[in-house]
């Protein structure tokens, strides 16, 4: 197995709109879809008449094709359990009240028997004179960087362009036909007045031909739509990454251990409440682990029924692990629709129901050692269908659940 880290630098505005507009406006996604990057490489290879070559088949048509992840403006994704103040939402700094994670709090509060508390988090940011904000908190989504245990937002700037349609017969501007694409800006100015280009990072995992992939990635000059109108100019910088199975597996184990230590610590704070019993899934008798979706995932129950919940049976089938003790404890997920365009066929792809990026599935098992290799493979190759196009990217036991939790509930 080989991995490539691909840096995509925008040299003009970018547009990755999946659906055709119903009106004047057409909004772009905030990232570079893996399917777009994959299609650009395949298109270059097809132009070189490599469609029937062994390399093309290995990269795109084999049973284990190369996986092109989505290219995000930051390496980490906020989970569905992340919330922020409704009044001043956002990571700490510049007057923002911060982002917290509610997974551990909600798990422990809802496990109380009888359930004597309604979990409704309030903003605990201290205002002047020791007062707390106390405003309602709502979901916070997007991307972020990590500086040790601190977080920085990873944003892209969007702007509105106005264009006029062209009459194809007369090659002049068509009357009363304006349209306005909302595009990703090619860069922005920071607080110090320094210009920073928009940069996105993707990971490509392949079983072979990484050098050939690097060669074609460097040739890509345009991504997305609107190329004939000056949009989509990019520069790609691929580089090889070292792959160490033992080190990667140890990182997953450490993240899992920290998550369970945090759950036990918080549960110990609630044991003294009147009438508090034992939770159904006792943290002392088993092990928790989370599966966080870092991209939309195409999940099918029994191989055909679309679903937005990753059940115990589905996880065991996809990972080929038999574990009678496995239980889905919580699922924080929503759904959306995703389609696409097949460059080779020149036809639209089928529209799939997907579990949205950021979804979190919390599992409990008595046999965590059985899942070590399966979780390692899941992080590298993804889960569900269409993983080669960037769907089903996964991070196991995301550190955000531990680092962004509140030590004491407000």
Measured torsion, CA atoms of residues 113, 115, 117, 121, in degrees rounded to the nearest 10: 100
Main-chain dihedrals φ then ψ at residue 278, nearest 5 degrees: -90, 140
The pLDDT score that the predictor gives to residue 225 is 87
Confidence category of residue 275, pLDDT binned at 50, 70, 90:
low
Cβ-Cβ contacts under 8 Å for 178 (sequence gap 6 or more):
24, 162, 163, 164, 165
CA–CA separation, 92 and 115 (whole Å): 33
Confidence category of residue 115, pLDDT binned at 50, 70, 90:
low
Mean pLDDT of the chain, nearest integer = 90
pLDDT digits (tens, 9 = 90+) for 201-236: 999 999 999 999 999 999 999 999 888 888 999 999
Spell out the alpha helix ranges (H) of 111-176. none
Residue 247 CA, distance from chain mean position = 23
The pLDDT score that the predictor gives to residue 241 is 94
Confidence category of residue 114, pLDDT binned at 50, 70, 90:
low
Cβ-Cβ contacts under 8 Å for 340 (sequence gap 6 or more):
18, 33, 35, 348, 349, 389
The pLDDT score that the predictor gives to residue 24 is 61
Mean per-residue pLDDT for 133-162?
Answer: 91
Confidence category of residue 191, pLDDT binned at 50, 70, 90:
confident
Report the percentage of the chain scoring pLDDT > 90.
Answer: 67
DSSP for residue 158: E
CA–CA separation, 294 and 379 (whole Å): 10
- Tokens coding 263: 């759950």
- 36-50, 120-134, 264-278: which has the highest mean pLDDT? 36-50
Per residue in 161-171, is it b (16+ CB within 10 Å) or e — as a string?
Answer: bebeeeeeeee
Mean per-residue pLDDT for 339-349?
Answer: 78
CA–CA separation, 401 and 148 (whole Å): 15
Compare 384 and 282 and report the one with higher pLDDT. 384
User: Is the pLDDT reported for residue 409 higher than 60?
Assistant: no
Q: Is 376 helix (H, G, I), strand (E, B) or coil?
A: helix
Confidence category of residue 68, pLDDT binned at 50, 70, 90:
very high
**Angle at alpha carbon of residue 315, lines to 2 and 115, rounded to 5°:** 130
pLDDT digits (tens, 9 = 90+) for 193-205: 889 999 999 999 9
Compare 29 and 112 and report the one with higher pLDDT. 29
Pick from 191-205, 230-244, 338-352, 373-387: least confident = 338-352
């Amino acid at each position: 197995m080989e991995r490539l880290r691909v840096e995509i630098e925008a040299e003009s505005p970018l547009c990755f709109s999946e659906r055709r507009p119903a009106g004047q406006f057409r909004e772009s996604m905030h990232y570079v879809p893996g399917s777009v990057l994959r299609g650009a490489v395949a298109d270059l290879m097809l132009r070189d008449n490599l469609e029937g070559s062994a390399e093309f088949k290995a990269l795109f048509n084999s049973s284990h094709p190369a996986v092109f992840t989505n290219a995000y403006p930051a390496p980490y994704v906020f989970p569905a359990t992340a919330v922020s103040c409704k009044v001043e939402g956002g990571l700490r700094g510049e007057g923002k009240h911060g982002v917290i994670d509610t997974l551990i709090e909600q798990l422990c509060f809802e496990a109380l028997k009888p359930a004597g508390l309604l979990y409704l988090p309030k903003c605990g940011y201290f205002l002047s004179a020791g007062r707390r904000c106390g405003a309602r908190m709502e979901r916070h989504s997007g991307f972020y960087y990590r500086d040790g245990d601190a977080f920085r937002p990873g944003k892209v700037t969007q702007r509105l362009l106005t264009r006029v349609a062209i009459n194809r017969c007369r090659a002049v501007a068509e009357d009363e036909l304006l349209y306005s694409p909302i595009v990703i800006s090619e860069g922005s100015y920071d607080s110090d007045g320094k210009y920073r280009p928009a940069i996105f990072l993707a990971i490509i995992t392949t079983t072979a031909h990484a050098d050939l992939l690097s060669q074609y990635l460097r040739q890509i000059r345009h991504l997305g739509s609107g190329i004939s109108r000056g949009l989509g100019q990019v520069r790609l910088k691929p580089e090889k990454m070292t792959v160490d199975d033992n080190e990667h597996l140890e990182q997953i184990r450490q993240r899992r251990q920290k998550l369970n230590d945090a759950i036990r610590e918080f549960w110990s704070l609630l044991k003294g409440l009147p009438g508090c019993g034992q939770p159904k899934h006792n943290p002392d008798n088993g092990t928790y682990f989370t599966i966080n979706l870092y991209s939309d995932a195409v999940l099918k129950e029994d191989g055909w029924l679309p679903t937005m919940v990753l059940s115990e049976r589905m996880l065991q089938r996809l990972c080929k692990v038999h574990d009678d003790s496995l239980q889905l404890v919580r699922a924080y997920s929503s759904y959306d629709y995703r389609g696409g365009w097949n460059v080779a066929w020149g036809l639209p792809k089928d529209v799939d129901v997907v579990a949205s990026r950021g979804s979190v599935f919390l599992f409990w098992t008595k046999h965590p050692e059985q899942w070590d290799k399966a979780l390692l493979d899941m992080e590298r190759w993804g889960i569900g269908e269409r993983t080669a196009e960037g769907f089903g990217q996964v991070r196991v036991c995301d550190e955000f659940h531990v680092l962004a939790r509140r030590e004491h509930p407000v």
